[in-house]
Structure 1
Amino acid sequence: MENPSTIILVVALLWVSVVAATRTKLQSIENVDGGICKSMLETQGYTCQEHKVTTEDGYIIGLQRIPKGRSGDETPNKKPVLLQHGLLMDASAWLLNPPDQALAFILADNGFDVWLANTRATKSSRGHTSLTPNDPAYWDWSWDELAAYDLPALFKYVNNQTGQNLHYVGHSLGTLTALAAFSQEKLLNLLRSAALLAPIAYLGQMSSLFIRILMDLFLSETQELVEFICKTPGVDCSDLLATITGPNCCLSSASKAALFKNFPQSTATKNMIHLSQMVRMGTLEMYNYGNEDTNMEHYKQPTPPVYNMANIPKDVPLFLSYGGRDALSDVNDVGLLLDNVKDHDKDKLVVEYIEDYAHMDFIMSANANQLVYDPLLAFFKLH
């Protein structure tokens, strides 16, 4: 079987422009300042709480809570908001810009009770009730499990802590897991509304040539693979962030520097294989084990079950914001998603298209506060 760290390493190396021969399966991203609360929230004048949530399959998920804004507003019954980051990132993704530009800060300062999730195996979520990251079984999951176990556990925990249903914000992979759960009518009894930024349901028309080549080749010596892809016609490795995600319009050098302090975070090889199946086959289905017998063992059918986006109830309040330059959440793939929800209740669906935005603009752009977050806040206040 392939080295469990290979795909994590390749993507990480491409992004940060570092070529290395080997790394361990568990990426070691150490924050010398003592974690997200201390290094990224309290330093900006915000109160921060650390919480732990245990999933049904035993993973211990870290949550950071911002219970109030800088004004110290103690308004009772604040509406909770759960923020879920994308692939190879953690909750710091929502805190890369100054308080007037970063969504988590903006939500807190606008009277919301903000909860920041960290996907299993990231620095804040490395615990398990019986396994350690050195156990192969610890890594036996894909985004199927994030939708089936992590999100339900997080929703229930926030609901129990606050006594209220919650708003949800996902970016990239955080939209895919939510959409998958919604299509199975999970989470909906605890949900007020969902905002999906750079939404991913389908990946078959992804325009990032870099990632398409990566998914096709899939395995190789890391250095050779990087060099090979960078020499491919049409691939420009002079700006790897833009090459992978699309030409982001409005990222500051400070926000990029903040990103690379916490990137890449760990994920499972199985998760990357699952995503590569979506890219190569254009499917939106559960993990494919590669042969009918093994699929039968897991699913009692020879092919993986499909996540049908048309099954998302028509009255679920959805806010979708996508970009014209996004090389990962391609406009054509988003079009497939929108076609599946075309019969959604008109007063429950807001679709926002920003022509100049690429994938990272939605969480890092200096003007996202006006273009994305202002309408998002208005949407939340309606629901």
Structure 2
Amino acid sequence: MASSRVISVLSILLLCITIIQGRKTLYTSNDFSASSLNTDDGICKTMVETQGYTCEEHKVTTEDGYILSMQRLPASRSGEKANKPPVLIQHGNMFDSYDLFQDAVIWLFNSPDESLGFILADSGFDVWLVNGRGTKYSTMHTSLSPNDKAYWDWSWDELASYDLPASVQYVYNNTGQKMHYAGHSQGTLMAFAALSQGQLLNMLRSAALLSPIAHMNQISSKETKLGADLFLANDIYWLGIREFSPIEDVGAKFLDGICHTLNLNCANLMAFFTGPNCCINSSRIDFYLQHEPQPSSTKNLIHFSQMIRTGNIAKYDYDDQAQNVKHYGQRVPPTYDLTKIPNDFPLFFAYGGKDQLSDVQDVKILLNDLQDHDANKLVLEFNQDYAHADFILSVSAKQDVYDPMIAFFNNQ
């Protein structure tokens, strides 16, 4: 009875907050053409060049019309031009209230000695950062604006089918080289989906996957599981509210409501969703919040909720057989078969014992899918103390994760 009341209260909170979000005009300009991107306040100017690095702003258009912002770091801080292959880095996007509604800035938050984007550039790699559709620097489209409901009609299916191939192809066309791939959280799921369908293999050298997301049924975070149950937000989706933007003031009210209702001490909200991150510089949380969280689509969160509830890695379920037939030619969504990933494709996995989103038990199921993978092409890096956000924000990630990743890249 008590748990039912909790879910009812939180459902009402979520519905009200999301409706408020839907009524807000978050985008005041109607100009979302490629020429409207102001590079003066872009990532290169604000985050990279301020640290002494050369940076280039790029744009790539997906097959379905989204114009993605990309940043290139072609040289080290000393100015020495990259002498190693390109690395394409893809951010994540999950349920966490703080750092997991991300964009590419997440790879540049800490000092140059602690941030993956800078570390790879200083190690001689040609670094490319991509910002997913709908985030601050990737709001453009060839015909739609973010004020249009149709703009938000996507889930990670489209990110894997359109954003990732367009980004990889763009880097390949501009460099003429096969590249390494590095992804966190949703960025790993995008790679699993594409690789399992035989895509991108002719342009990739390897993939480094941090906090890998595939099977999600064993997630240990009660708060995330509750969020998955609430994001039966099909109700919200069919009300016509397609964008989910966890803006600080509104998101804070929602999270305060969860904390109050569940009688939780929410001094460290991130830990409730990601697990107890061991090594984040807490003094920089306010700085992180100046840039994150970023918007996502309600449909994307529904898709993740489906994965958590079912444990399946499948395309988006329209919860209507006729709609599934219309989109897929069958009554149930097709699944992604990870056993189809070529056994000789080099993979690097980094996962943590405290991670409540990429749960150790779910990772074990994932590794079982890959049990026939060539042993010398699969590298596992396990850190008992790491939770989900440590892999991108830990002050010790260079020694714990990035140095082994770079050794892996150098061996391919």
Work out whether the TM-score is over 0.5.
yes
Aligned to 2:296, the other structure's residue is in SS state: coil
The AA in structure 2 aligned to 1:175 is T
2:82/2:125 contact within 8 Å kept: no
TM superposition shift of 1:196: 0.2
- Aligned length in residues: 370
| Residue 83 of structure 1: aligned partner | 89
The AA in structure 2 aligned to 1:152 is P
TM superposition shift of 1:197: 0.3
The AA in structure 2 aligned to 1:266 is P
Question: Which of 281, 288, 291 pairs up with 2:310?
Answer: 281
Distance 1:159 1:21 in 2: 42
| Residue 366 of structure 2: aligned partner | 337
Q: Structure 1 residues 159 and 338 mapped into 2: Cα distance closer, same or farther (>3 Å)? A: same
Give matches, 1:1-383, under 5 Å: 22-24=20-22, 34-75=41-82, 78-87=84-93, 88-218=101-231, 226=255, 229-231=258-260, 235-383=264-412
| Residue 14 of structure 1: aligned partner | none
The AA in structure 2 aligned to 1:300 is G
Distance 2:403 2:256 in 1: 42
Aligned to 1:131, the other structure's residue is in SS state: coil
Distance 1:305 1:224 in 2: 37
1:63/1:115 contact within 8 Å kept: yes
Identity level (%)? 55
Question: Structure 2: where are the runs of 5+ without partners?
Answer: 1-9, 29-37, 94-100, 237-249
TM superposition shift of 1:64: 0.5
| Residue 7 of structure 2: aligned partner | none
TM superposition shift of 1:117: 0.5
Q: Structure 1 residues 234 and 349 mapped into 2: Cα distance closer, same or farther (>3 Å)? A: farther
Distance 1:232 1:207 in 2: 20
Distance 2:361 2:27 in 1: 36
Question: Structure 1: where are the runs of 5+ without partners?
Answer: 1-5, 12-18
Distance 2:270 2:20 in 1: 22
Distance 2:103 2:39 in 1: 16
Distance 2:50 2:254 in 1: 40
2:75/2:124 contact within 8 Å kept: yes
TM superposition shift of 1:225: 5.8
Aligned to 1:188, the other structure's residue is in SS state: coil
Cα RMSD of the aligned pairs, angstroms, is: 2.7
TM superposition shift of 1:32: 12
Aligned to 1:123, the other structure's residue is in SS state: coil
Q: Structure 1 residues 278 and 79 mapped into 2: Cα distance closer, same or farther (>3 Å)? A: same
1:27/1:265 contact within 8 Å kept: no
Aligned to 2:87, the other structure's residue is in SS state: strand
Deviations 1:113-145 (A, max 9, x none): 000000001111111111111111111100000
Aligned to 1:22, the other structure's residue is in SS state: helix
The AA in structure 1 aligned to 2:338 is M
| Residue 6 of structure 2: aligned partner | none
1:185/1:312 contact within 8 Å kept: yes
1:255/1:364 contact within 8 Å kept: no
Distance 1:80 1:222 in 2: 37
Deviations 1:267-322 (A, max 9, x none): 11111110111111211100000011110000001100001111111011000000
The AA in structure 1 aligned to 2:188 is T
* Runs of 4+ with deviation above 6 angstroms: 220-224
